[in-house]
Amino acid sequence: MKTNRILAIGLIAAATVFTVGCSDDFLKVDNPQGEPLDEYYTTDAHIQEALIAAYDPIHWPDWGLNQYNALNIDAEIMGDDFWVGGANKADMQNWHKLFNYEGDENNTLSSLWTVDYSGVKRCNDVLKYLDWATDVTPENRMSYEMQARCLRVFYYNMLWHYFGNVPFYLENLSKPPYTAPQFTADEVYGQLITELEAVIESKALPMKYYKKKNEAGENVDDPGQFGRVTQAMAYMMYAEMVMYQNDDSRFSKALGYMKEIIADSRFHLNPDFANIWETNGEWCNESIWEINYEHTISERDWGDAALNIGGTVLPTLISPKDWPGGDGWGKGQDGWGFLPIRLETYGMFAAVDKRRDATCWDVRGVEYTERYQDTHIWLAKYRPFDKNNENGTTSKNLNYNNNYRYYRYAEVLLNAAELSLRTGGSGSGEAKGWLNEVRTRAGLTGLDNISVNDVLNERHLEFVGEGKRYWDLVRAEGISEASDKNKASKVLVPDQFGYRTNSWTPKKKYIPIAQGELDSDPALVQNDYK
């Protein structure tokens, strides 16, 4: 039974208004208790309510605000490991359009924009309310501030990755016309990385979870705090950002952060790769950060607010339709057939690679209702099991118990290996050891001398379905050591089946901004995606 529920809490009364675009009045928030905001947010307990509300939007993308936007799918559909699937090309048309690099203002990730700016708004709220608090200790005040600032970077980081050129503000908009300046992608990066450095340098966040005292007075991990941002999570986001930007001026600092995690004995590879994806593998010592979902408080249901607390719809999205039963999943369960794995992806794994069967759910030969682009190979990492929604009280296919594994220790090792090589390290030195840890766990022999391209290859095998491959392909455009098979312009081209008919180009790096946002703020400039 899960105990990591602190951040699977739903919408708190402290911050119940859903915000949308950057042009909305973010300050019209009514407290259900009827107290003025500046009187309500004076206590530690109420500041904590606001902080938990700031975490809540991280649960929204998979299902809510009129779109399915599971974070791994949004990235993977633009990469080279999956087809989109579903009933046909009109089913989640925005995904199919983005897959073919022909997205437009009406076929984009519109709800993800809303989710992330909702998160930004709530983080800004926390920072404002802290000025009103009267009974918050200096230690707690610093903790709450840095959690909110780290979360705000997280939300902006998603906006930056997908949209690049976005409105940017660190205080909520209080005066008409409620618009914020649109920064270039490089300007957004500059603001975010400086902000994240300040969070990291404060040392206010613990490296791993929050601590509590046991009966013997010893410091132990508190599972009730799983899901809060930590120093290790901030380190990972920092490395992700500087590597995506190819900001070599910060590579050495990022490498130092990776080495700090490696030196911490509380983090290591889980011996069994397949176990990572089981319920009992959640928050194992390989986990750096996860987004929690819980079936025992499954309030998500058809006709109700999709932003309610509970489980995730991801396993339903990515599984075969009308399953005949077996392999831990009951007969007649209704998957929706999105994200079938390409046969080429299955074939890239060596037969001895333990990751293949833990990544690819191969049901070739099983009869079920086939859908568009069906390969009979599905993503095993987040696949449905009856045990993962058996305690659901509402629509079970909307409430699976699968946490989203956002950062893992394997990524720490591969980040460190790449950063070492890109800062002058030897391919036969420390970088080799880190990469070979990952290969050895997979059942593969180690390499004697490695290159940046070897790291990119290993990342491809390790992270299938985790929403990382597409970003690696894009950033590899700026890596001279990367081979053609790891570069977006060479890999993301028309396929032999006629599914993808267009090629990725540098103009496709940032996807279109939704028409609704352009209408609400005439000053917004659309990305040059055509």
Q: What are the pLDDT digits (tens) for 31-62?
A: 545 678 989 999 999 999 999 999 999 999 99
| Cα distance between residue 267 and residue 221, in whole Å | 13
Coil vs helix vs strand at 104 = strand
**Count of residues in the chain:** 530
pLDDT in tens, 238-281: 999 999 999 999 999 999 999 999 999 999 999 999 999 999 99
Indicate the range of 2-6, 265-269, 315-319 predicted with least confidence: 2-6
The answer to whether 269 and 286 have CB atoms below 8 angstroms apart is yes
When the pLDDT of each residue in the chain is averaged and rounded to a whole number, the result is 92
* b/e code 380-393 from CB counts within 10 Å (16+ = b): bbbbbbeebbebbe
Please tell me the predicted confidence (pLDDT) of residue 304: 65
The answer to whether 523 and 179 have CB atoms below 8 angstroms apart is yes
| pLDDT tops 60 at residue 16 | no
Coil vs helix vs strand at 162 = helix
The mean pLDDT value for 287-303 works out to: 89
Give me 336's structure tokens.
């929706």
Where does the pLDDT of residue 156 fall: very low under 50, low under 70, confident under 90, or very high at 90 and above? very high
Greatest CA separation for the chain: 67
Angle, in degrees to the nearest 10, between helices 409-422 and 430-441? 150
| Cα distance between residue 56 and residue 450, in whole Å | 41
**pTM, full prediction:** 0.93
The mean pLDDT value for 300-327 works out to: 88
Coil vs helix vs strand at 111 = helix
Please tell me the predicted confidence (pLDDT) of residue 10: 35
Q: How many CA atoms lie within 13 A of 292 on its CB side?
A: 24
Please tell me the predicted confidence (pLDDT) of residue 22: 41
Domain ranges in the chain? 6-247+509-520
Which amino acid does the sequence have at 529? Y
Contacts of 456 (CB under 8 A, 6+ apart): 418, 472, 476, 479, 482, 483, 486
The answer to whether 150 and 233 have CB atoms below 8 angstroms apart is yes
The answer to whether 178 and 24 have CB atoms below 8 angstroms apart is yes
Phi, psi of 221, rounded to the nearest 5 degrees: -65, 140
Please tell me the predicted confidence (pLDDT) of residue 33: 59
Where does the pLDDT of residue 301 fall: very low under 50, low under 70, confident under 90, or very high at 90 and above? confident
Q: How many helices (H) and strands (E) does the chain have?
A: 18, 6
| Cα distance between residue 220 and residue 235, in whole Å | 22
- The dihedral region occupied by 101, where left means phi > 0, alpha psi between -120 and 50, and beta the remainder, is left
The answer to whether 76 and 378 have CB atoms below 8 angstroms apart is no
Does the domain at 6-247+509-520 match CATH 1.10.3720.10? Answer given as: no
| pLDDT tops 80 at residue 498 | yes
CB atoms < 10 A from the CB of 506, how many? 11
pLDDT in tens, 351-379: 999 999 999 999 999 999 999 999 999 99
Peptide linkage before 57 cis (omega within 30 of 0)? no
| Cα distance between residue 148 and residue 136, in whole Å | 15
Please tell me the predicted confidence (pLDDT) of residue 296: 86
CA-nearest of 378, 392, 208 to 298 is: 392
| Cα distance between residue 412 and residue 236, in whole Å | 7
Whose tokens are 């180690």? That residue is 446
CB-based burial label for 15 (10 Å; 0-12, 13-18, 19+): buried
CB atoms < 10 A from the CB of 271, how many? 10
Where does the pLDDT of residue 437 fall: very low under 50, low under 70, confident under 90, or very high at 90 and above? very high
pLDDT in tens, 376-423: 999 999 999 999 999 888 889 999 999 999 999 999 999 999 999 999
The mean pLDDT value for 209-217 works out to: 80
The mean pLDDT value for 162-190 works out to: 95
Angle, in degrees to the nearest 10, between helices 138-163 and 185-202? 160
Contacts of 375 (CB under 8 A, 6+ apart): 83, 340, 341, 342, 343
Give the residue with greater pLDDT, 309 vs 124.
124
| Cα distance between residue 107 and residue 163, in whole Å | 13
